[in-house]
Amino acid sequence: MEKVDIGITEKNCSNVAEMLNKLLANEFALYTKTLNYHWNVVGEDFYPLHLFFKKQYEELFDIVDDIAERARTVGGKTIASLKEFHKLSILDESLFGEGKTAYEMLHQLLHDHEAVIKQIRKDIDVTLDKYADAGTSNFLTDLIEKQEKMAWMLRAFVVKRVAK
């Protein structure tokens, strides 16, 4: 395969790809957890939450794919096994369990999105300032806007549940 020559050192490209793989692991964990909750939500809000979770996991699938493609764009390889995703993710998989109330599902997803948003915020600066990669910094800036909107939507549901 042809070497990547995009004006960023090979070492910096490698570091950016590694950073993107950690983000990929977190987004894949969010995708899986959201899919799980889509399948397992019960209660009076079943139907609207079932549809809401579907919209969110579809958005997360696109995010996962975009991150993997960005890692490949800078010359990296993408992780692709559940073992690798689990190893690199900062999200707590033990909280995937069945028997959660709809409120607990929403609250957990909100917490996870906010954790990912905080990490992306740090990564934006590192990619630009340390690795001189404006493209990935811009990619992450666009991504954080999507994540913040998803968190806002979750927050709106959590407020509804608390108000009841």
Give residue-wise pLDDT tens across range 90-102.
998 765 556 788 8
Q: What is the pLDDT of residue 159?
A: 79
Q: What is the pLDDT of residue 2?
A: 76
> If you average pLDDT over residues 138-158, what whole number do you get?
96
pTM score above 0.85: yes
Residue 23 CA: distances (Å) to CA of 1, 41, 114, 120, 163: 25, 26, 13, 8, 33
Residue 137 in this model has a pLDDT that exceeds 70: yes
> If you average pLDDT over residues 45-67, what whole number do you get?
97
Q: Is 38:57 a contact under the CB 8 Å cutoff?
A: yes
Residue 164 in this model has a pLDDT that exceeds 80: no
Residue 21, token pair as written in the block: 């793989």
Residue 71 CA: distances (Å) to CA of 1, 19, 102: 15, 9, 35
**N- to C-terminal Cα separation, the chain:** 58
Q: For the CA atoms of 98, 79, 22, 77, what is the dihedral angle to 10 degrees?
A: -160
Q: Is 114:151 a contact under the CB 8 Å cutoff?
A: yes
> If you average pLDDT over residues 1-17, what whole number do you get?
89
Band (pLDDT 50/70/90 cuts) for residue 113 is: very high
> If you average pLDDT over residues 61-71, what whole number do you get?
98
Query: Buried b / exposed e across 124-146, counting CB within 10 Å, b at 16+?
Result: bebbbeebebebbbebbeebbeb
Share of the chain above pLDDT 90, in %: 80
Q: What is the pLDDT of residue 4?
A: 85
Question: What domains are there in the chain, each with its CATH number?
Answer: 10-163 (1.20.1260.10)
